[in-house]
């Protein structure tokens, strides 16, 4: 996530005041880094129970919400 959003290429900041572009990009980068880490790390060690399909769908909706910005 840090590399994907490091320069703001994938974020539309046209509706943001120019002086706030960098802060918006940085904030979005850190939000997405945290969101991905919290979801990815839950399952990466294999010590968590599987989630039901509804919970998995909610996780996907959570991540998708960031792309609606």
pTM reported for the whole predicted model = 0.63
Does some domain include residue 27?
Answer: yes
Does some domain include residue 12?
Answer: no
Largest distance between two CA atoms of the chain: 46
Q: Residue 69: what pLDDT?
A: 55
Number of structural domains the chain divides into: 1
Q: Residues 12-28: what's their mean pLDDT?
A: 90
Which tens digits make up the pLDDT trace of 26-51? 888 888 888 777 777 666 667 777 77
Does some domain include residue 16?
Answer: no
Does some domain include residue 54?
Answer: yes
Does some domain include residue 13?
Answer: no
Does some domain include residue 36?
Answer: yes
| Structural domain harbouring 36 | 1-7+21-41+50-69
Q: What angle (nearest 5°) sits at the alpha carbon of residue 64, between those of residues 63 and 69?
A: 105
Q: Hey, how many other C-beta atoms are within 10 angstroms of the C-beta on 21?
A: 14
* CA neighbours closer than 13 Å in the CB half-sphere of residue 5: 21
Q: Dihedrals φ, ψ of 14, to 5°?
A: -65, -25
Does some domain include residue 29?
Answer: yes
DSSP E strands in 7-58: the ranges are: none
Does some domain include residue 25?
Answer: yes
């Amino acid at each position: 996530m840090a590399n994907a959003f490091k320069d703001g290429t994938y974020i539309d900041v046209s509706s943001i005041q120019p002086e706030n572009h960098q802060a918006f990009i940085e904030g979005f980068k850190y939000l997405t880094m945290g969101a991905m880490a919290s979801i990815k790390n839950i399952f990466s060690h294999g010590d968590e129970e599987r989630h039901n399909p509804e919970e998995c769908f909610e996780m996907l909706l959570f991540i998708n919400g960031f792309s609606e910005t």
